[in-house]
Chain A
Amino acid sequence: MELGLSSTSDNSVQKLDPRTKLCLLIAISLIMVGGKTVGVEYILRVICAAIPFVLLLTVRHIKSALIYVMLLGLSVFCEGSVIPNISGAPNLILMILCGIISRFVPGYMMGWYTVRSTSVSEFMTAMDRMRVPYFITIPFSVMFRYFPTLGEEYRSIHDAMKMREIGQSVKNPFIYIEYVLVPIMMSTVRIADELSAASLTKGLCAGGKRTHICQISIKFYDWLLMLGSLVMIVLFFVF
Chain B
Amino acid sequence: MERKFEIKDLITAGIFTALYFAVTFAVACIGFIPIVMVFMPLIGPIFTGIPLMLYFSKIKHFGMITITSVIIAILMFITGHPYPIFIFCIGAGLLTELVLKAGDYQSIRSCVLGSSTFSLWMLGMVIAFFFGFRESYLNSLVDGYGQEYVDKMSEYTPTWVFFTMIAMCIVGGLIGGLLGAKVLKKHFRKAGIV
Question: Please, which residue of chain B has its CB at the minimum distance from the CB of A183?
Answer: B187
A177 in contact (CB, < 8 A): yes
B12 touches A34 (CB 8 A): no
Chain B interface, DSSP helix/strand/loop, else mixed: helix
B70 touches A136 (CB 8 A): yes
A111 to B32, CA, bound (A): 21
A143 in contact (CB, < 8 A): yes
B145 in contact (CB, < 8 A): yes
Chain A window 159-189, contacts with chain B (Cβ cutoff 8 Å), 1 for yes, 0 for no: 0000000000000000001100110111011
A195 touches B15 (CB 8 A): yes
Within 8 A of A (CB), among B158-192: 183, 187-188, 191
Distance to closest chain B CB from A88 (angstroms)? 10
A147 touches B18 (CB 8 A): yes
A33 to B32, CA, bound (A): 14
Chain B window 3-19, contacts with chain A (Cβ cutoff 8 Å), 1 for yes, 0 for no: 00011101111111111
Task: Give the residues in chain A near B78, CB-CB below 8 Å.
Answer: 25-26, 29, 107, 111
A178 to B149, CA, bound (A): 34
Within 8 A of A (CB), among B133-148: 140, 143-146, 148
Query: Out of A36, A95, A146, which one reaches B146, CB within 8 Å?
Result: A95
Given known A29-B80, A99-B145, contact A177–B47 (CB-CB < 8 A): yes
B51 touches A181 (CB 8 A): yes
Given known A139-B17, A189-B54, contact A103–B144 (CB-CB < 8 A): yes
Given known A34-B80, A139-B17, A147-B22, contact A189–B7 (CB-CB < 8 A): no
Given known A25-B78, A32-B80, A107-B79, contact A146–B10 (CB-CB < 8 A): no
Question: Please, which residue of chain A has its CB at the minimum distance from the CB of B136?
Answer: A34
| Interface bin, chain B | 35 or more
B18 touches A185 (CB 8 A): no
Task: Give the residues in chain A near B146, CB-CB below 8 Å.
Answer: 83, 91, 95
A142 to B148, CA, bound (A): 42
A192 to B143, CA, bound (A): 44
Query: Out of B14, B54, B143, B148, which one reaches A141, CB within 8 Å?
Result: B14
List chain B positions with a Cβ less than 8 A from chain A. Answer: 6-8, 10-19, 21-23, 29, 32-33, 47, 50-51, 54, 58, 63, 67-68, 70-71, 78-80, 140, 143-146, 148-149, 183, 187-188, 191, 193
10 A-B pairs with C-beta separation under 8 A: A83-B146, A100-B29, A103-B144, A107-B79, A134-B10, A139-B13, A142-B15, A150-B22, A192-B12, A199-B11
